[in-house]
Chains A and B, each alone.
Chain A
Amino acid sequence: NAGVTQTPKFQVLKTGQSMTLQCAQDMNHEYMSWYRQDPGMGLRLIHYSVGAGITDQGEVPNGYNVSRSTTEDFPLRLLSAAPSQTSVYFCASSPLRGTEAYGYTFGSGTRLTVV
């Protein structure tokens, strides 16, 4: 089924460890983004990309890196995990021309706990 695939679904990290959250979409969407969801705070944008080779920061980029080498993939790297990064992470994609008409397609999320 076409959509946005996130892996892993669950992850526990120790403080200071690094890891990469994977996101892939098969809809040929130019736009991809990462959000984190915390109780009472809704979704906050971490990083986004409007195409291969182009990325930009969102509201809460500190502690995270991204790259976009292909249209399909948009991995999120935690450089040195901190307990404040315990959250649920969502990847989303959209056609670039027409985001306003289509909205976003979301992945099912990655639940990350940093101890």
Chain B
Amino acid sequence: AQSVTQLDSHVSVSEGTPVLLRCNYSSSYSPSLFWYVQHPNKGLQLLLKYTSAATLVKGINGFEAEFKKSETSFHLTKPSAHMSDAAEYFCAGGLYNFNKFYFGSGTKLNVKP
């Protein structure tokens, strides 16, 4: 079965400290993987995407993610959190049938001053 799993429903960090949001996938095929961000009462905005090119992917606002096939992971990181990063983050994948994206359940990031 194809699936995307976000391992933490809530993550809380202090401003200026690193951010790590975890995502694992399950697929028999090479996936395309994405991270989206959703600010309160807004739609989803694409942060970054992995499409079988470089395994380290850089996105907007200083975020990056590394595709690790051996660990079936695609974790999102940022070296230094900013207050404006507080939002909900979704990992998603086109895992074989690209007509059906699979979304994780989301991780809410809280950034403390």
Contacts and interface: CB of A to CB of B under 8 A. Distances in A.
A104 B34 CA distance: 10
B25 interface: no
Interface string A74-115: 000000000000000010100000011111111111000000
A41 B49 contact: no
A99 B43 contact: no
Interface residues of B, number: 24
Interface string B13-51: 000000000000000000010101000011111100101
B90 A42 contact: yes
Q: List the 7 shortest-distance A-B pairs measured between CB atoms, nearest first.
A: A100-B32, A42-B105, A108-B43, A43-B103, A106-B44, A106-B43, A42-B103
Interface of A: 31, 33, 35, 40-45, 48, 50, 56, 58, 90, 92, 99-109
Interface of B: 6, 9, 32, 34, 36, 41-46, 49, 51, 90, 92, 94, 98-101, 103-106
